[in-house]
Structure 1
């Protein structure tokens, strides 16, 4: 396997010719310590900046989850049915998915700092609109465009992979992934608390707007003006290259379909949990339902550990371990979710841990393909992730409301088994689209020298060369 570090060095060399930028959009000043200087030392990716990226991911991705624990209150406020109100999280996630496909590829074409600042400004404005509107259809439209602006964590993920040293890339990315999990917990918890004690669904969206503008201020001061990647492609060619990557890279396509299945399970559980806990035998109010988001603390702790583990083992194996844990959790939900509160708590904890574990493994695999196309590669993968979220919030809730909890969680078991079969269809040593390449070892070969990312997955050497040919 070729050493990854020299490849990353090429990316830096391509950025040297770009001049120092003192303003974003020609009028917003860039703090001096955030400016890219081709004559000076490269940006140092500190642990503080890594944690800030994780915190920013928390506070922005929460936009997707604010509505989930207050669906019943939203249905009463707007006078619509439970089935109709489930369109709110579905449209928010659909907006996120649209932005993944159309906006995230831009990070391989334009500087990321102004793009992130623009999305934060839009997210704050649209969240304010959600707080002020009393029309249901306007609320649905604003939910969609808010989702469009909430894609910031998926820009921070590949930026983290670009800035972090190769030997700790998976660990650094896992901190941002931890922020994503914390955002789910933060959004659900704050929505439940504010709606319960203020008696209004508007206050949580006022909070969301204020949070976005606070992150905007922090990003203005802290976000490095990392130069855009040198490319001769225009926007249409970028989108076309994404389509080509999807049909030429077996690892990326495999990760895409695994992301669909695993995220369908994750979102289906957390969306239907509101109806599960509000009905018999639990009959909990919004505040108590929101408190169940605290169960996500387990995955916040587990995500960095999973990142370190994936720096030491084959990420393919890390993905498999996460999927197997998810299957066990889905089976537990199928067997006893409505029979025991203890089972509900266990499923909440381990559904999150399983989701983040497999996601970190998948991202470690795809980020090794080509550093110059990480934005497009991440866009392809996360499009699958949030297509799964749309499926989970839509199909999962419809099955639950129409056929009951056992049918809904039986569907999750089916999704989990499908994801495992997709992973097993192509082992870590395979050279083609399916098979195991005659090698069944799951041990990670030792690096050739210090700092070498050798054998992230043995089959990726060929995939890297093909990815470079595509882009």
Structure 2
């Protein structure tokens, strides 16, 4: 396979990712992770079609998230053991099969099992992030991770909008069948454009050792622990907003439609794309500055969000600032932890993202419960409190971070 064929230019012993291939990584990441969120605007329809009661229809979302969490720990580390190109292609093809099963499900049991497997395989997103980081030149790694991660956040934010529109046009099954077809196209493109990249120590490392070493990395690396805790907090804040904002928007006096509510995902996507600058700042050595500014902006963003009932412009501003801040810190986190042990990149990112999953789930439960009891102002206070806690954690831990310890490969 030639460098020209892959869209990569070869140096003496390195590759330089082209803009087109980096964009393909971002597109594949966004498309894969969107599958985890497609069901959220479809719950009422799915409950009706499969006779699932209101009290249990939430399992549709929960099981998908459970599958994603399991995949982060059990599947993503395989990127350090196997040829990443083949692993990505295989996961995308299996994901397409699972999506087809969901799109053609004839019973609630098949639907729920299919969605759990969809969540499990959607973690190909994180395998792709680690793959892109491994291909990038060290001086460009932050920029590459920034662009690829923008694809992830954009996929999350636009999933609800795309799902609602497709369901209105051609029924809910079209959402999953269309995504299955797209996964196949991406698998073909990635198989043709990416080079094989196997772990140098793959032959000497078994799967059990691989999982144990993920835990060992957390025990040894203070930076990984700190950045994982920051991930938990920033995504708890992120989920606090996005899991509950539809509630005040759909209630009087605003009474917005599902399409109108989904449009605010576009505002969030603008913030996410703007945060690609965070990657460049990391490459220039401003990771701590970027983290501090990002967490300060995250805290401040809840002030305009508190005025959502009175001004949709305030909501739009708050959404853009919040998503920009979360993206900036998230890109910084991934760039820093990958640099600890590039040969263990998949384990590092997979373990880190487990904390993202816990934070997202916790924020969603807390926000919806609090809204029912105390309303939107209380939800914003919760989000601001979580954001402030993240800022304080960064302030306390930003000095004295130890250098990376010995390579962990066994």
TM (normalized to structure 2)?
0.91
| Residue 401 to residue 233, structure 1, CA distance change in 2 (3 Å) | same
Contact 1:57/1:152 (CA < 8 Å) preserved in 2?
Answer: yes
| Structure 2: gaps of 5 or more residues | none
* 1:123-158 CA distance string (max 9 Å, x none): 111112222225334333322210111112211212
Asked if the contact 2:16/2:137 (under 8 Å) is kept, the reply is no
From 290, 294, 302, give the equivalent of 2:262: 290
* Counterparts of 1:378 and 1:50, CA distance in 2: 18
Aligned counterpart in structure 2 of residue 245 of structure 1, from 203, 208, 217: 217
Alignment partner, residue 430 of structure 1:
400
> 2:103 matched to 1:131?
yes
Instruction: Name 2:407's counterpart in structure 1.
Output: 468
In structure 2, the CA distance between the partners of 1:88 and 1:60, relative to structure 1 (3 Å rule), is same
Q: Which of 168, 181, 188 in structure 1 is aligned with 2:140?
A: 168
1:388 counterpart = 2:327: no
Change (3 A) 1:138 1:469: closer
Could you report, residue by residue, the CA deviation over 1:188-238 in whole angstroms, capped at 9, with x for unpaired residues? 22112122334x322212222122112122122212211233242211111
Aligned Cα RMSD in Å? 2.7
Deviation at 1:330, TM superposition (A): 2.6
Work out whether 1:371 is the aligned partner of 2:310: no
| TM-score, reference length from structure 1 | 0.79
* CA distance in structure 2 between the partners assigned to 1:270 and 1:423 by the alignment: 24
Equivalence for 1:18: none
Q: 1:172 to 1:400 in 2, by over 3 A?
A: same
Which of 119, 125, 133 is the equivalent residue of 1:153? 125
Contact 1:68 1:89 in 2 (8 A): yes
| CA 1:396–1:87: 2 relative to 1, 3 Å | farther
Counterpart of 1:343 in structure 2 is 314
CA shift in 2, pair 1:384/1:120, >3 Å: same
State whether residues 59 and 215 of structure 1, in contact with CA within 8 Å, keep that contact through their aligned partners in structure 2: no
- Report the count of equivalent residues: 407
* Aligned 1:306-385 pairs, distance under 5 A: 306-333=278-305, 335-385=306-356
Deviation readout 1:269-304 (Å, 9 max, x if unpaired): 222223332222222222222222211332243132
1:16-415 matched pairs, under 5 angstroms: 33=5, 42-80=14-52, 84-198=56-170, 200-231=171-202, 232-333=204-305, 335-415=306-386
Q: CA deviation at 1:170?
A: 0.2
Gaps of 5+ in 1: 1-21, 23-29, 432-458
> Could you tell me how far 1:80 is from its partner in structure 2?
4.7
Q: Which structure has the larger Rg?
A: 1
Partner of 2:389: 418
Q: Secondary structure at the match of 1:85?
A: coil
